[in-house]
Amino acid sequence: MPPAYRLKDFVAACAAGQIFVPEAVLDGAGPLLGCDTQQAVADFVANGGMQHHKYKPPNTWDGQPSTWDRNPNPEVPVYIDEYDFCYGTKCIYIAFMKPPGGVWIVKSIKPSWNKDHVRFCQRRSLHNLKR
C-alpha cells in the first residue's frame, strides 16, 4: 500500500509553517529532537531533518493505512502516514495526517521500534564516526 500523501507536500507545509503539533507530541519531541516549539518541529522537517526516512507500511489487518480514530466525520476517512528516520544514532518514528480543509497534523513523534531501521541508523552513525 503506497503512502496516502506525498512526503514533499508535508515538507512544503512545514516550510510554510502550516502544521499543528499537539501538546502531547511536543512533549515527546522536546527531549527526543530538541524541538520544544511547533515552529521548531516545522523547521526540523523543512530543513531535511527526516534523514534516511523509510515509509512504514500499514500494519492493519486489511493492509489499509491507519486512520484517524477521533475523526468527527468518519464517513470521510483521514489516513495517517508513518515513517521512520535516522537522527544521529537514534531511529525516530513520525506519523502525520491531513484532514480535509484542515492543516497538517503531526500525530506522533517517538522512538521507533522498527528493529531493522534502528540497526540501519546505528550502522550509519558508526560508519560516519569511523571516517
Partner 1 sequence: MTTRCPACGSEDVTFSVVEKTFSVPFGKPVTCMLDRAACQRCDATGDFAKTNDAKIEAAIEESEKSALAELLSRMGEFAQSAYVERVLGLPARTIARWKTGHASAAATALLRFIVTYPWLLEVAENRFAPREADRHVVRAFRDAFERLHWSEPDAPTVVSATGTAGSAPTSAACAGQVTVVLSTSAQTTSSVTVYAEPAVGQAA
**Which residues are at the interface with partner 1 (CB under 8 A)?**
20-26, 30, 36-39, 70-73, 99, 101-103, 105
**Do 57 and 73 touch, CB atoms closer than 8 A?**
no
Shortest CB 40 distance to partner 1, Å? 8
Q: Is the dihedral of CA 64, 66, 67, 70 positive or negative?
A: positive
For residue 106, the tally of other CB atoms under 10 A from its CB is 22
Nearer Cβ to partner 1 (103/126): 103
Shortest CB 31 distance to partner 1, Å? 11
Shortest CB 37 distance to partner 1, Å? 4
Q: In which order are the strands placed within the sheet that holds 90-97?
A: 19-20, 104-111, 90-97, 80-87, 51-55
Task: Show Cβ contacts of residue 14 under 8 Å, excluding neighbours closer than 6 positions.
Answer: 41, 42, 43, 44, 45, 46, 104
Shortest CB 19 distance to partner 1, Å? 9
Nearer Cβ to partner 1 (13/86): 13
Nearer Cβ to partner 1 (2/72): 72
For residue 96, the tally of other CB atoms under 10 A from its CB is 25
